[in-house]
């Protein structure tokens, strides 16, 4: 645990990150692995995760924001960094200065970026929208954008890519339709005499469940952090969740049957019980709804249910009438204790969300401890 006045921390196992990167690199080979470290490495710590993923065989990193790429460079990370969306034109000077690789999908963006590069030289990747309909050029426009890149003396067409909308649903034929559209775009590129060095389409689910989507590079996010992108997709790879969310009991009291607890007094002790207070709350990512849908923690190797409404800074836990719990005892919200484990997938099933949101939701005031 880090030195802190408040006993709460997220422990990140960097050996698990390395292990996961190695597993993904093997399954996607000969494609290269791009580790997606946006959103502070899905809440794990971007620079530490980046180094571990690179040690595990990743050759690229990907981020959403220019600021995220700049932070990697400031930490001394020299690997190729892909920006997953076209950056604002006013940020292009920073993109050039820090040797980030932008994704472009408008001719205006190509012109502005070429101007920012000036007499130098910079590589770009062009994105085609094959059906996700979020960002990317249309099929026809993607060829024109790629041609504009190739014609700009300052620019090199290093990559051409797309993103899959339902790769985590392997039975959905839409992924095959997207790949067919992507192949059409690639043929048109070739007909135009354009040959990008890297072609890529696969996210974690695409890399694992759709071999045809692997191409030259796979962009893996959630799987790097140890979670399968969907039930049955990658569960056989031996991925290891890297993050544990922990705290310590701050206060213990005995409640009589019938006593009610926390805001709204919505929870009532069915029997005499030991109640533990733990200093983590919804401001830290322990979402308020978790107490209403059967959320649990591990104390002393036992699963104990949350009792009463989760508050901003604290939760209360029903430890049972026979509990021997004391202030200072470790509490595991996510992770392993003894023979039991609680995962982000467990939370996601209860909360009707996905593990990505659970992990990214762990707040910045929770210290990250990298081991």
Active-site residues, by number, are 38, 263
- Residue 195 has which token pair? 């040959």
Q: Which residue from 160, 163, 122, 121 is spatially nearest to 144, judged by alpha carbons?
A: 160
CB distance 290 to 245 below 8 Å: no
CB distance 83 to 100 below 8 Å: yes
Sign (positive/negative) of CA torsion 171, 177, 183, 189? negative
DSSP-assigned letters across all residues of 138-152: -HHHHHHHHHHHHH-
DSSP annotation of 134 reads S
**Which positions ≥6 away from 74 have C-beta within 8 Å?**
none
**Which positions ≥6 away from 363 have C-beta within 8 Å?**
283, 284, 285
Token pair 């031996």 is found at 238
Q: How far apart are CA 328 and CA 359, in angstroms?
A: 25
Distances, alpha carbon 79 to alpha carbons 54, 82, 94, 178, 316, in Å: 8, 10, 17, 30, 45
**Which positions ≥6 away from 140 have C-beta within 8 Å?**
none
């Amino acid at each position: 645990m880090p030195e802190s006045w408040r006993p709460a921390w997220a422990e990140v196992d960097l050996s698990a990150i390395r292990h996961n990167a190695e597993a993904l690199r093997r399954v996607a080979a000969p494609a290269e692995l791009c580790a997606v470290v946006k959103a502070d490495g899905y809440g794990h710590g971007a620079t530490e995760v980046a180094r571990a993923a690179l040690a595990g065989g990743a050759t690229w990193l990907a981020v959403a924001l220019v600021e995220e790429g700049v932070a990697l460079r400031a930490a001394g990370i020299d690997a190729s960094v892909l920006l997953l969306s076209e950056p604002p034109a006013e940020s292009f000077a920073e993109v050039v200065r820090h040797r980030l690789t932008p994704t472009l999908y408008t001719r205006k963006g190509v012109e502005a970026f070429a101007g920012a590069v000036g007499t130098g030289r910079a590589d770009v990747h062009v994105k085609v929208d094959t059906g996700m309909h979020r960002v990317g050029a249309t099929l026809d426009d993607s060829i024109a954008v790629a041609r504009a890149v190739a014609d700009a003396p300052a620019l090199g067409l290093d990559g051409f890519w797309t993103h899959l909308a339902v790769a985590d649903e392997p039975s959905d034929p839409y992924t095959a339709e997207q790949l067919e559209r992507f192949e059409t775009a690639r043929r048109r590129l070739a007909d135009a005499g354009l040959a990008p060095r890297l072609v890529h389409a696969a996210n974690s689910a695409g890399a694992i469940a759709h071999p045809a989507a692997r191409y030259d590079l796979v962009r893996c996010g959630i799987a790097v952090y140890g979670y399968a992108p969907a039930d049955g997709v990658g569960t056989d790879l031996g991925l290891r969740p890297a993050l544990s969310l922990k705290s310590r009991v701050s206060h213990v009291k005995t409640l009589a049957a019938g006593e009610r607890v926390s805001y709204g007094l919505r929870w009532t002790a069915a029997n005499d019980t030991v109640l533990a207070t733990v200093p983590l709350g919804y401001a830290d990512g322990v979402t308020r709804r978790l107490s209403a849908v059967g959320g649990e923690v591990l104390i002393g190797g036992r699963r104990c249910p949350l009792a009463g409404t989760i508050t901003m800074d604290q939760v209360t836990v029903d430890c049972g009438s026979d509990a021997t719990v004391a202030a200072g005892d470790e509490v595991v919200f996510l992770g392993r204790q003894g023979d039991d484990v609680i995962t982000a997938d467990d939370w996601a099933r209860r909360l009707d969300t996905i593990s990505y949101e659970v992990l990214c939701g762990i707040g910045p005031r929770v210290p990250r401890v990298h081991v």
